[in-house]
A and B are shown apart, each in its own frame.
Chain A
Amino acid sequence: MAIIEVKNLVKKYKISEKEHGIIGYIKHLFHPKYKEHIAVNNISFSIEEGELVGYIGENGAGKSTTIKMLTGLLTPTSGNVVVNGIIPNEERIKNNKQIGAVLGQKTQLWWDLPVIESFELIKKMYEIPNEQYEKNLKKFTEILDLEDLLDKQVKNLSLGQKMRCEIAATFLHNPKVVYLDEPTIGLDILVKENIRKFIKDINKERKTTVILTTHDLKDIEEVCDRIILIDKGTIIYDGDKENFKNIYGKHTMIEFIVKNKNVNITLETSEEEFEVIDESDKNIKIKFNHDKFTVMDIVKLISNYCEILDIHIQEEGLEEILKEIYRGEIIDD
């Protein structure tokens, strides 16, 4: 049975409609007008135990609203959510025991207490058995390198140190499902790597299901196997990460190191199919649609203009693909 089952989930918000200016605000005060906004529009998916899912979409696409409904923070307008047999919205506290969550910059640690005291409070809250607590603490301290941080007050930690502690706090009670909403925002590369490795390790060891929303697609590339892409409240892709690239990644980047180049490169075709991204005396960078051209086509073409010294081919990454999707180049609605 799936650990997370979402069926026909809808969330509508009432948002106030104000006219501009102070008069508009005063009018609104006495005679408020509301307009309905559909944040999540009839989405369904199911997630198996142990899956690492990247839940992605633009700002305002409905990601956070979905996560809030999954965690029981928000009551759905209609539709069902079941997490490990529990309806989060109805049995919130029971559900809270089996999940963990990092919500962006909002900390679950006690701001002016040493980190270890927050951990102790979490231990009490979740009734974590001594043995498990000690074991986890030792392990997390090692992987996330928390040794020197435990006795420091949270307010004195840097953003990266704080997030490492936050992640540890989230996993202390061996949650079945973990929601990570923007866990790597604003962190440096080393900390990001550290956190990604931690998530993968724990997932492997305990089959913890992880749902990750992030704007850093490197997180998804390295951690997740599955992608759910939401746009304007609707799911537009749900499936394997590699498959996603095959379907939507229509472009290949190719970079040439050349010499004896003297004319500019032109080709009578649309930008969608062939685009010179960068061009200098020694360097040519081209993006092309690999359904229209083969790499050999491009190599032949370039060799007409100059002498090729080196070639570097790169498949399109998630980030480029998503940019195209968001711009409406691939999927129209």
Chain B
Amino acid sequence: MIRNIKLYFSFLVASLKRMMEYRVDCIVGMVSQIAFQIIELVFIWIIFQTTDNIADWSFEHLLLLYGVMMLSISVTDLLFDSTYDIGKRLIRKGKFDTILLRPVHPLISVLGESETSTALGYMILSVILIVSMLIKLQVSVTLFLILKILYFGILGGFIIGGIQTIFSITGFWTYKSNEVVWSVFQLHKLAEYPIEIYNKFIRILITIILPFAFASYYPTLDYLGLNESNLIFIVPLIVIVIWIIAINVWNWALKKYRSTGS
């Protein structure tokens, strides 16, 4: 286990080095992501031109929630981005065979291939949003709060990354499309709004089935002092459960894949 985690970071460092090789790609990716996010923020702003709150959440609260989700997404992008399109990138081209021949669990190799230039853009923007909104909402920014933001940000990244990894196995069979992973991933957008606005079904969906809300909504409540439950322990538990499922689902898919061949 420790060996695998060490290797994962070695692979990740290699990926980052690769990313640095493409400086222009890197900068363009970052800038375009920031631009894209700003457009989304403009939409939220437009909504608030007609109303001054959504389920008792003000514009500032919503921006804070958005920033918290973005921080989690940036961690997902940085650490787990590469499961996103394994079918297209690895399996169809036969590159997966070389990964299977390594003396390492293939999931470690695949995850270690993450090379995204968008993570940095997200991260910068999310930090700006979170800090400015906390100040605007007159929440006192203590060291403990900063550590909590980092803690939940990282774990949120693990939640979203884990969900993505579970659904990434569809890539073993759908070589040309990653629509399934993409659609599931897009559901995180639901958790960019307070869950009070949703009906029971969607609430269950984003808190229990695909617990995206633990990467944004619940931590935000905590930062605002509105949370009574013991989130510091619940979130890592969720992470562990998701990743146990992810690893098992992957092992099952690998077994299937190896029995049919390419």
Interface assignment of B189: CB less than 8 Å from any CB of chain A: no
Asked if A125 and B104 make an inter-chain contact with CB atoms under 8 angstroms apart, the answer reads yes
Contacts of B259 in A (CB 8 A): 74-75
> A100-125 toward B: CB 8 Å interface, digit per residue (1/0)?
01010011101111000100010011
Residue of B21, B22, B101, B104 touching A73 (CB-CB under 8 A) = B101
B98 CB, min distance to chain A CBs, angstroms: 5
A125 with B98, Cβ < 8 A, contacts A112-B21, A113-B17 known: no
In the assembled complex, A93 has its CB within 8 A of some CB on chain B: yes
Task: Evaluate contact between A75 and B258: CB separation under 8 angstroms.
Answer: yes
Task: Name B102's contact: one of A94, A96, A106 (CB within 8 Å).
Answer: A96
Number of interface residues of B (CB under 8 A): 25
B residues 237-262 in Cβ contact with A at 8 Å = 255, 258-261
Residues of B within 8 A of A65 (CB): 261
Known contacts A13-B261, A68-B261, A74-B258; A121/B100 CB under 8 A: no
A237 adjacent to chain B (CB < 8 Å): no
**Chain A nearest Cβ from B239, distance in angstroms:** 25
Asked if B176 is at the interface (CB within 8 A of a chain A CB), the reply is: no
Q: Least Cβ distance of A203 to chain B in Å?
A: 20
**Nearest A residue to B21, CB-CB:** A112
Query: B residues within 8 A CB of A117?
Result: 14, 17
Task: Choose one: B22, B104, B261; the contact of A74 (CB below 8 Å).
Answer: B261
A65 to B97 CA separation, bound complex (whole angstroms): 13
Chain A nearest CB from B15 CB (Å) reads 9
Q: Given that A106-B98, A124-B7 are contacting pairs, would A73 and B103 also be in contact in the complex, using a CB cutoff of 8 Å?
A: no
Q: How far is the CB of A99 from chain B (nearest CB, A)?
A: 8
Of residues 69 through 88 on chain A, the ones whose CB sits less than 8 Å from some CB of chain B are 71-75
> How many residue pairs, one in A and one in B, have C-beta atoms under 8 Å apart?
69
Residues of A within 8 A of B103 (CB): 93-94, 96-97, 125-126
Q: Which B residues are CB-close (under 8 A) to A103?
A: 94, 97-98, 101
Does B23 make an interface contact (CB < 8 A)?
no
**Closest residue to A126 on the B side, CB-wise?**
B103
Q: Which residues of B contact A208 (CB under 8 A)?
A: none
Of all chain B residues, the one with the shortest Cβ separation from A117 is: B14
Contact of B98 among A89, A108, A113 (CB under 8 A): A108
User: What is the chain B residue whose CB lies nearest that of A75?
Assistant: B259
Smallest CB–CB gap between B23 and chain A, Å? Answer: 12
Closest to A39 in B: B261
Determine the residue in chain A with the shortest Cβ distance to B109: A125
Q: Which residues of B contact A68 (CB under 8 A)?
A: 97, 261
Is the beta-carbon distance between B18 and A112 smaller than 8 angstroms?
yes
| A152 contacts the other chain (CB 8 A) | no
Q: Does A92 contact B (CB under 8 A)?
A: yes
- Considering only CB atoms, which chain B residue lies closest to A104 in the complex? B94
Q: Judging by beta carbons under 8 Å apart, are A106 and B94 in contact? A: yes
Shortest Cβ distance from residue A133 to the other chain B in the assembled complex, whole angstroms: 15
Q: Which residue of A lies closest to B259 (CB)?
A: A75
Contacts of B151 in A (CB 8 A): none
B6 to chain A, nearest CB (A): 8
Q: Kindly list chain A residues whose C-beta atoms are within 8 Å of the C-beta of B261.
A: 11, 13, 65, 68, 73-74
- For B104, what are the chain A residues with a Cβ–Cβ distance below 8 Å? 93, 125
The answer to whether B100 and A73 have CB atoms under 8 Å apart is yes
Is B88 an interface residue when CB atoms closer than 8 A count as contact? no
Q: Is the Cβ of A121 less than 8 Å from the Cβ of B101?
A: no
Interface residues of B (CB under 8 A from A): 3, 6-7, 10-11, 14, 17-18, 21-22, 94-95, 97-98, 100-105, 255, 258-261
List 8 A-B pairs, minimum CB-CB distance, nearest first. Answer: A96-B103, A75-B259, A97-B103, A112-B18, A108-B98, A74-B261, A75-B258, A106-B98
Besides A65-B261, A96-B103, A121-B10, 6 more A-B contacts (Cβ < 8 Å) are A75-B258, A75-B259, A93-B103, A99-B101, A106-B94, A107-B98
